[in-house]
Amino acid sequence: MPIEVAPGRLRPTAARRDVTSSAGGCGGKDQVSRSRLRRPADPVGEVRHLSLVGATASGKTAAAVRYARRHGRVELVSVDAIAVYRGLDIGTAKPTAEERRGLRWHLVDACDPDEDFSVARYQAAARAALGEIEGRRHRAVLVGGTGLYQRAIVDELKLPGRYPDVARALEAEADGPDGLAALYARLREVDPTAAARIEPTNRRRLVRALEVAIGSGRLFSSSGEGLGHYGPTRFSLVGLTLGRDELDRRIAARLEAQLAAGFVDEVAALLARRAGLSRTARQALGYRELIGYLEGRTSLAAARAEILRRTRAFARRQESWFRRDPRIIWLDAARGDLDRAFDEAVGAAGRDETSARD
């Protein structure tokens, strides 16, 4: 089954777009892109939440924390596929003790590192968290850069089915002599669009894409009015952007700080766990490379260089993913008045909703 928008609160008709000029890739303009959407009215009494997106190291967590402290009655929901794991702390740049002080965080440390955590499991947990937040008459701020997780909540995606027998056969194939290279070549033949969006070394996503294609007979990249449709939502969407040089500088500086804070020791402790690590946890950015170093397959210098390369490539993919969404109001994360601009952007999204109802 392809990913499609679930029926119900979100109406299937596409929102009309009127997109003003943007900075393109990730330029340095203050507010680089803005979409005016004509959406149907929110259901009476429904809380309007916020989703803050952007590339890794763009400053999303800090901006969300400042927003929550300024406004009160705000709870934060992590949208990070790896921050859900307990013990994967330094390498995931989880909110610090100071960033958690006095605030409610959801979907951080949600499972053990030997568990497999899926987008379906995230969607169910995030829906439950939103229900609790609304029950307290608070507002949620989704913050993080895992694009599919974010869309699963913002657009209530209906996710493809599971085909366990197919998945087991593919996992066995991945363990074979050609391993991931064989799976990637197979995916390029079956679904080249999906293959172009997946790293050849990302075992979990390769297996999942092939599982759906083989089990359902439909392409994993086939999404109907799902990932390619940006319809009405009760979330205000704001994105942080940085110039490429500055983003690369921040990524490098953060890695150095993580290594100084004991990143290698954290990975060693995880490897020493009796229950081990799930395939997803082992493949996480930084963890995979440092596991290779600790297991003697590479040097620390080579692992560091590979972490930087993969993280920068990941940031480019995040930018590309989020740039496709015309509903996002983009702000330059380096501007000096970011907090004021952030508040104005959120207010502007609300005013657009009001004018759409009038």
- pLDDT of the chain, 358 residues: tens digit per residue: 433 333 333 332 333 333 322 333 333 333 333 333 334 334 334 558 999 999 999 999 999 999 999 999 999 999 999 999 999 999 999 999 999 999 999 999 999 999 989 999 999 999 999 999 999 999 999 999 999 999 999 999 888 888 888 988 999 899 888 888 999 999 999 899 888 888 888 888 899 889 889 988 888 877 544 678 899 999 999 999 999 999 999 999 999 999 999 999 999 999 999 999 999 999 999 999 999 999 999 999 999 999 999 999 999 999 999 999 999 999 999 999 999 999 999 987 656 554 444 4
Taking the C-alpha atoms of residue 233 and residue 11, their distance in angstroms, rounded to an integer, is 9
Amino acid at 219: L
Asked whether the beta carbons of 164 and 81 are under 8 A apart, the reply is no
Tell me what pLDDT residue 140 has: 98
pTM of the model: 0.77
Do residues 85 and 112 make contact, with C-beta atoms less than 8 angstroms apart? yes
Residue 229 burial (CB < 10 Å; 0-12/13-18/19+)?
middle
Rounded to whole angstroms, the Cα distance separating 189 from 212 reads 14
Provide the pLDDT for residue 202.
Answer: 84
DSSP 91-153: TTTPPPHHHHTT--EESSS-B-TTS---HHHHHHHHHHHHHHHHHTT-EEEEE---HHHHHHH
Domains along the sequence of the chain with CATH? 4-160+223-248+313-357 (3.40.50.300), 164-216 (1.10.20.140)
Residue 139 near residue 74 (C-beta atoms within 8 A): yes
Gap between the terminal Cα atoms of the chain: 38
Cβ atoms of residues 294 and 264 within 8 Å:
yes
Q: Which two tokens stand for residue 28?
A: 């340095």
The predicted structure's pLDDT at residue 348: 76
Q: What is the DSSP string of 250-298?
A: HHHHHHHHHHHTTHHHHHHHHHT-TT---HHHHTSTTHHHHHHHHTTSS
* Three-state DSSP state, 308: helix
**71 alpha carbon, distance to own chain's centre:** 24
**Which DSSP symbol is given to 38?**
B
- Report d(CA 209, CA 189) in Å as an integer: 12
C-alpha to C-alpha distances, 339 to 64, 77, 100, 336, nearest whole angstrom: 9, 19, 19, 8
> Residue 54: phi, psi to the nearest 5?
150, 175
What are the structure tokens assigned to 196, written together?
């172009």
Which of these, 75, 97, 137, 42, lies nearest to 350 by C-alpha position?
42
From the centroid of its chain, how far is CA 126?
Answer: 13
d(CA 49, CA 237) in angstroms, rounded, equals 9
